Chains A and B, each alone.
Chain A
Amino acid sequence: MSATPNESVVLETLSQIIDPEIGCNIVDLGLIYRVAIVEGIVKVTMTLTTPGCPMHESISQGVKSALLNLEGVTGVEVEVVWDPPWHPSLMSEQARIALRVGNF
């Protein structure tokens, strides 16, 4: 039985997926709300910057593809939620500086 990656590996993997409109990875953008790993199955609860975002399917499928490539991951479940809605205050400090996003 292969080892299961931990949450930091999951987040590091997800940080290679960008929101192409904003030009920032989805982890630093604050789109990932929750990661749970149970017996090789990774459950990701995430949001998008706006409802109706045309990147919806691409990004959420990308999350699945990226995590399924990790050794020890046997399944991925992605839930896109709109509550609470995404807000720029969820961005990491690093992303705010890079994108010149104001304080809150």
Chain B
Amino acid sequence: MEVLLPISAGIKTPTSSARKLQTPVSGSITGLGATAVSSIALPLAFMVTGLVALFTVGVWLMVQPEILSTYHYSPSAVAITHLFVLGWLCSMVMGAMYQLIPVALETKLYSERLVLPQWMLHVAGFIGMVLAFRVWNMKFVGWFGSIFATGVCLFIYNIIRTLLRIPKWNVVALSVTSALAWVLLTITAGLLMTAAKTAHANFMFHFNPLGTMHTHAHLGIVGFFTMLIVGVSYKLIPMFTLSEMQNGSRAVASIVLLNIGLVGSLFSILLQSIFKPLFALVVIIALAIYGWEIITILRARKRRALDWGVRYFLTAIGLLVPLSLLALVLSWPRLPLNPFTGQLENVYGFVSLIGVVSLAVIGMLYKIIPFLVWFGAYSKHIGKAQVPALAEMYSASLQLLGYWLFLVALAVTIFGILISSAMIVRIGSVLFAASLTTLAVNVGKILSHYFRPKLTPLVAPKKFNAL
């Protein structure tokens, strides 16, 4: 007896395109997809590390709001920025990449063994760096920075070896490779700056210190984080909205132009050249092409309702528009160097790191953490009991509240920075803390499934028509 469902008319007889499952029911998970997350503990460790760092930043800003309401070249500003970027963003992005890259590239991670040592080097490195920056001990910054860099090299090696496994190169692989190159350059620049301050790299004195700092920041924010957001969203946005990439050439063009803009910006910012606006414009054109493709993907989507995880992500992308305009203004060579310009630079850094990268990360976090916990708690129960959907593992109302609180906090803090008001920045920080509390409660709800899975028995079929 055989039942052919409507689609089966188009199925080819199982051949090479079919993968026959031969493992026994109780056998080990060794298939294509499951290898992506064979161990959920380590990606989760990165994410918990990231959340702890984020809350530490929130508390720090509430206690010391002057960090944002005054110019950003101070030990506290540099320390908190590294806590935010390395502790929160890098932890989240690296943890997510260990899970997402195999999914996005349809392969398996090269080595799970390398993840634990990287996490240990990562945590030891960034905590040491933040403390050393806080007391402005550049020798310690160099030591802990080298520990952190060693961890990043393990990460890069693992991802590169993973990329070498993919049968067909695509735009996601191109963007990930680019991002890895840029993060390596960012870290090299950081270590060279540290070496210069401890008099081991005298050639660095040829460059303007602010120029090198801005180059370092720019490479990290645009080269690593933005590049990854752009590339990975070409896979994830169609996947989450039931759509398809509309124009592959357009997607590739956005990555290529982003790389060209980054190379130009690297030299023009470092050398304080008059070509800064030109290369800023190239980056903006790349992002515009990216936005164009995302809009066409969304227009072609089959799932009309967008979940809030996706909305967080799309809002972050939308914030690239005002950010790009601000970038163009700040790149202008004849811009007067006054306190207001300094505050505009603070706004630029703040919107980049919090408005764009963090909001995008939180959106993806609402996808990744439920999946990792679900995989650990429920995957072995499928077919044996009824298990919850990912969206049932947390509160959508809290997610919505967190979204609006985040946007209000962003607006209030930007206003506080612009008028150099520590009080308003503190109010913004409190609002951010409220938004992050909704996130913390939801993460707690999600993690509770890991310790107390919510299973209900399968219902026996009503009809049992024996043959």
Smallest beta-carbon distance A81→chain B, Å: 4
Q: Which of A30, A56, A68, A100 contacts B34 (CB 8 A)?
A: A56
Whose C-beta in chain B lies nearest to the C-beta of A64?
A: B25
Would you give the 0/1 interface string for A12-50, flagging 1 where the beta carbon is closer than 8 Å to chain B? 110011101111000000101111111000000100111
Residues of B within 8 A of A71 (CB): 464
Contact B465 A9 (CB under 8 A): yes
Contact B375 A58 (CB under 8 A): yes
Smallest beta-carbon distance B164→chain A, Å: 17
Known: A7-B1, A79-B21, A102-B302. A50 touches B391 (CB 8 A): no
In the complex, A50 Cα to B18 Cα: how many Å? 14
Contact B34 A72 (CB under 8 A): no
Q: Which of A36, A38, A57, A104 contacts B33 (CB 8 A)?
A: A57
Contact A90 B239 (CB under 8 A): no
Known: A5-B466, A33-B11. A16 touches B1 (CB 8 A): no
In the complex, A3 Cα to B155 Cα: how many Å? 55
Contact B384 A8 (CB under 8 A): no
Smallest beta-carbon distance A2→chain B, Å: 9
Contact B302 A45 (CB under 8 A): no
Whose C-beta in chain A lies nearest to the C-beta of B20?
A: A79
In the complex, A84 Cα to B394 Cα: how many Å? 34
Residues of B within 8 A of A34 (CB): 2-5, 8, 11
Known: A7-B1, A38-B1, A54-B36. A78 touches B21 (CB 8 A): yes
B31 contacts chain A at the CB level, 8 A cutoff: yes
In the complex, A58 Cα to B36 Cα: how many Å? 12
Q: Which of B21, B240, B463 contacts A8 (CB 8 A)?
A: B463
Most buried by B among A62, A77, A88: A62
Which residues in chain A, 57-76, are within 8 Å of chain B measured between CB atoms?
Answer: 57-72
Contact A16 B386 (CB under 8 A): yes
Q: Which of A10, A69, A79, A80 contacts B458 (CB 8 A)?
A: A69
Interface size bracket, B side: 35 or more
Contact A100 B303 (CB under 8 A): yes
Whose C-beta in chain A lies nearest to the C-beta of B99?
A: A54
Whose C-beta in chain B lies nearest to the C-beta of A65?
A: B383
Known: A20-B388, A33-B7, A84-B7. A61 touches B239 (CB 8 A): no
Whose C-beta in chain A lies nearest to the C-beta of B458?
A: A16
Contact A18 B34 (CB under 8 A): no
In the complex, A90 Cα to B10 Cα: how many Å? 12
Most buried by B among A16, A30, A33, A77: A16
Smallest beta-carbon distance B182→chain A, Å: 25
Residues of A within 8 A of B239 (CB): 49-50
In the complex, A63 Cα to B105 Cα: how many Å? 25
B295 contacts chain A at the CB level, 8 A cutoff: no
Contact A37 B34 (CB under 8 A): no
Contact B374 A20 (CB under 8 A): yes
B335 contacts chain A at the CB level, 8 A cutoff: no
Contact A101 B21 (CB under 8 A): no
List residues of chain B with CB under 8 Å of any chain A CB: 1-8, 10-12, 14, 17-21, 23, 25, 29-34, 36-37, 99, 102-107, 239-240, 242, 301-305, 371, 374-375, 378-380, 382-384, 386-392, 458-459, 461-467
A–B pairs, 8, beta carbons within 8 Å: A32-B5, A45-B14, A61-B29, A64-B25, A64-B383, A67-B383, A99-B303, A100-B305
